[in-house]
């Protein structure tokens, strides 16, 4: 009887649970469905669910108090560097990479760890900044730059990494906009999207960080609300044991089709082939190696799936870490346990006001023990790893009130809060160096006093150029920047030459 009652509640909770309709779902659950015959014990369960949702969704309607003259303070910041000195961390890299699950270095936050989190966050942000969103472009859904140009174009060469491989993904499930194709008939691909890349540290960066670091960066969806309804209900098996993961995430990671140009092999096959190649290359040179997988939103989910697969294939002496931002839950308790048993270290960076990390399993998750007690089941979703929790209200630069869900989930908001975080009990860091204006690249989160336009990051004139006849037209892409599934990676000789190149700090 308890199981059927829980099923009734679960079905009831799935009514209208899109992000912009959470409040209505909360009200429906609280009031109950008069046609549903739910026994008293299940009614208590519903009340507990209602209280949990109310607790998690309540937000401070008032922005933080600001005693300083914010516009003047911001003006003074404009003449200061945007990054700290790149100190040598070669003697403590394992701790920063999570060998002890980041114990005693998250609260307060170790300065070296802060800079490394931001570095990986910027690698993830690159997957958004270089993505072609223009549905009128024949290259919609691709990266706007060749992989050899990506970091130069986005100002990330300072980090001392080279991109070695672009990754493409498709999905067999319905995604309203994530795979929306170009309006142009002759497009580069109708089935695939650029979803991320693999990069590796050069010699100078390797010396600074104490090992050769292989990085995988995964892109999230443009608008997470588009996949929320699809990605919340169904767990499917992964691996040989009882681990299960959300079917939509797994579909994107593993889907392939012989008829496509870019996904004859899946994102899974592409990334593991590249990781395996790089690990073998540097193992043969006798180097210490790490694999760091990062992603935001959906990209954080793909990062966990990637880490799970890598842990089965990569040699045990190569540590694997995941640093995710605003990532949803991915799998059940067995999936979590297997990752931990295989030594995968996961650091989840979460903003208190962001709803995405509460999904899937808004109700049935690791925090809701009553459900397991009633049903005897443990199929609900579980988060993995350690958590660095941030609060929009801690920053005097951010709008703290309202329900600005896109702004709360925005990756640049996350990086701004990491940069200003000292500890859970201290104010926003006055020495924070990242450019505050970056927060408003694709949202409206900065207080009006700063006079930073919202959603300011875009191509000049939205990509149109004036030709020799005075007509505004779409420019032709540089031939090097046209997507190609054959030549999007550095060949070994080119990669070795790059690795030998010094990058100024």
Q: Which of 191, 409, 442, 481 is catalytic?
A: 409
Which residue's structure tokens are 């700090």? 505
CA distance 366 to 167: 32
CA distance 436 to 433: 8
CA distance 246 to 232: 7
Looking at the DSSP bridge assignments, the partners of residue 50 are none
Q: Is the CB of residue 170 less than 8 Å from the CB of residue 181? A: no
Which residue's structure tokens are 């600005």? 404
Token reading at 499: 């690795």
Supply the Cα-derived Rg of the chain in whole angstroms: 23
Q: Which of 142, 297, 321, 442 is catalytic?
A: 297
CA torsion angle for 276, 279, 282, 285 (degrees, to 10)?
A: -90
CA distance 484 to 45: 54
Q: Minimal CA–CA distance to 336: which of 444, 451, 245, 262?
A: 245
CA distance 132 to 143: 6
CA distance 99 to 172: 37
CA torsion angle for 127, 128, 130, 135 (degrees, to 10)?
A: 130
Torsion sign (Cα): 155, 293, 104, 367: positive
Active-site residue 36, yes or no? Answer: no
Q: Minimal CA–CA distance to 112: which of 469, 418, 376?
A: 418
Q: How far is CA 334 from CA 98, 324, 380, in A?
A: 21, 20, 10
Active-site residue 62, yes or no? Answer: no
281 CB neighbour count, 10 Å cutoff: 17
Q: Minimal CA–CA distance to 262: which of 143, 125, 153, 174?
A: 143
453 CB neighbour count, 10 Å cutoff: 10
Active-site residue 297, yes or no? Answer: yes
Q: Which of 110, 129, 354, 488 is catalytic?
A: 354
CA distance 282 to 286: 6
CA distance 324 to 125: 12
CA distance 244 to 331: 5
Token reading at 348: 């989840």
Query: Looking at the annotation, which residues are catalytic?
Result: 297, 354, 409
């Amino acid at each position: 009887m308890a199981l059927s009652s829980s099923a009734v509640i679960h079905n009831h909770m799935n009514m209208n649970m899109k992000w912009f309709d959470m409040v209505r779902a909360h009200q429906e659950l609280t009031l109950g469905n008069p046609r549903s015959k739910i026994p008293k014990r299940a009614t208590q369960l519903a009340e507990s669910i209602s209280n949990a949702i109310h607790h998690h969704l309540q937000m401070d309607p008032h922005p933080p108090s600001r005693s300083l003259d914010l516009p003047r303070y911001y003006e003074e910041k404009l003449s200061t560097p945007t990054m700290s000195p790149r100190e040598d961390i070669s003697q403590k890299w394992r701790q920063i990479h999570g060998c002890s699950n980041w114990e005693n270095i998250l609260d307060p936050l170790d300065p070296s760890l802060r800079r490394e989190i931001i570095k990986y966050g910027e690698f993830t942000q690159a997957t958004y900044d270089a993505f072609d969103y223009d549905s009128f472009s024949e290259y919609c859904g691709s990266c706007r730059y060749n992989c050899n140009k990506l970091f130069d174009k986005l100002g990330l060469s300072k980090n001392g990494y080279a991109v070695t491989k672009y990754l493409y993904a498709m999905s067999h499930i319905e995604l309203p906009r994530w795979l929306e194709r170009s309006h142009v008939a002759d497009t580069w691909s109708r089935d695939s999207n650029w979803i991320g890349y693999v990069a590796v540290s050069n010699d100078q960066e390797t010396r600074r960080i104490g090992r050769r670091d292989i990085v995988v960066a995964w892109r999230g969806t443009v608008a997470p609300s588009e996949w929320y309804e699809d990605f919340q209900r169904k767990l499917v098996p992964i691996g040989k044991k009882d681990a299960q993961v959300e079917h939509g995430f797994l579909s994107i990671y593993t889907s392939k089709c012989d008829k496509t140009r870019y996904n004859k092999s899946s994102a899974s096959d592409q990334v593991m082939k590249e990781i395996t190649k790089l690990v073998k290359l540097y193992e043969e040179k006798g180097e210490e190696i790490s694999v760091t997988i990062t992603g935001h939103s959906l990209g954080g989910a793909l990062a966990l799936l990637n880490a799970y697969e890598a842990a089965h294939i990569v040699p045990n002496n190569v540590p694997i870490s995941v640093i995710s931002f605003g990532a949803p839950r991915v799998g059940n308790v067995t999936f979590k346990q297997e990752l931990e048993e295989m030594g995968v270290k996961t650091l989840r960076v979460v903003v208190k006001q962001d709803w995405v990390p509460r999904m899937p399993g808004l109700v049935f998750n690791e925090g809701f023990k009553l459900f397991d007690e009633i049903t005897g089941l443990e199929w609900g979703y579980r988060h993995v790893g350690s958590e660095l929790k941030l609060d929009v209200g801690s920053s005097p630069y951010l709008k703290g009130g309202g329900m600005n869900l896109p702004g709360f989930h925005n990756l640049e908001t996350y990086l701004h809060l990491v940069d200003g975080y000292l500890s859970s009990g201290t104010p926003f860091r006055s020495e924070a160096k990242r450019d505050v204006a970056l927060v408003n690249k694709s949202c409206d989160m900065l207080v009006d006093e700063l006079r930073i336009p919202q959603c300011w990051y875009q191509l000049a004139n939205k990509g149109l150029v004036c030709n020799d006849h005075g007509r505004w037209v779409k420019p032709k892409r540089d031939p090097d920047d046209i997507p190609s599934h054959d030549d999007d990676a550095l060949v070994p000789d080119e990669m070795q030459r790059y690795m030998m190149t010094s990058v100024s700090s």
